[in-house]
A = this chain, B = another copy of it.
Amino acid sequence: MKGKTISEAVIRRLPRYFRYLEELAEKGVERIPSSRIASALRVTASQVRQDLCSFGGFGQQGLGYNVEMLKNEIADILGLTRSYNMIIVGFGNVGAALAGYMGFSKEAFIFKAAFDIDTDKVVPEGLKLYSIDKIEDYLANNQIDIAVICTPKAAAQSVAERLVAAGITKIWNFAPIELDLPENITLENTNMSASLYMLTYSRR
């Protein structure tokens, strides 16, 4: 299926493949068959092959896939080969957790600054904390790719509007509210509850 555009469904699975391949690479695994990827991720081997084939087919019949090669290919598709400057707005528990989170690569995602009402909070080495009033100033003088909203629900919409007005086009929202923003803004919501509800919902 080379040359075709990669479908939404495939893209959504890429982060999982990527993370698993990172794990394998760390362990020094060099090659892996689709069947093992499948069982680790609880999907079918056919799906893994179909997915991987949709952007090129890097496997080798009889052998499996080259872990390093596949990992790099996926990183490239996901845009992880460059770096992104980020700011966090609202430095409460969630903001602090993100700033300290070890799950994403430190090279690709650079937390430049955090903004909060309380500027006396303790922040990790290297991160600067400013008053939330300074957002516009800061954005006028610094090139920022992604803004993360971790404010309480009540503040989220107005903060989002200010960010957009200041030129931000990619927003990662952790506030538990549906933001109403222009179509051209790329908005990703991380609804922590959603995943939890899948545990309380009992299938069948």
Contacts and interface: CB of A to CB of B under 8 A. Distances in A.
Interface of A: 11-12, 14-16, 18-20, 23, 40-41, 77-80, 84, 92-94, 96-104, 108-109, 146, 152-153, 170, 172, 176-178, 180, 186, 188-202
Contacts of A202: 79
Given A172-B199, A199-B146, A202-B79, A93 B101 contact: yes
A125 to B, nearest CB: 14
Contacts of A153: 102-103
A70 B103 CA distance: 37
B102 A176 contact: yes
A138 B9 CA distance: 41
Given A180-B40, A190-B195, A80 B200 contact: yes
A37 to B, nearest CB: 10
Nearest to A86: B196
Q: Which 9 A-B pairs have the closest CB atoms?
A: A103-B176, A97-B97, A79-B200, A15-B194, A93-B97, A93-B100, A104-B193, A190-B195, A15-B197
21 contacts: A14-B201, A15-B194, A19-B193, A20-B178, A23-B177, A78-B197, A78-B201, A79-B197, A79-B200, A93-B93, A93-B96, A93-B101, A94-B97, A102-B153, A104-B176, A104-B192, A109-B196, A146-B199, A146-B200, A172-B199, A188-B196
Nearest to A202: B79
A150 to B, nearest CB: 9
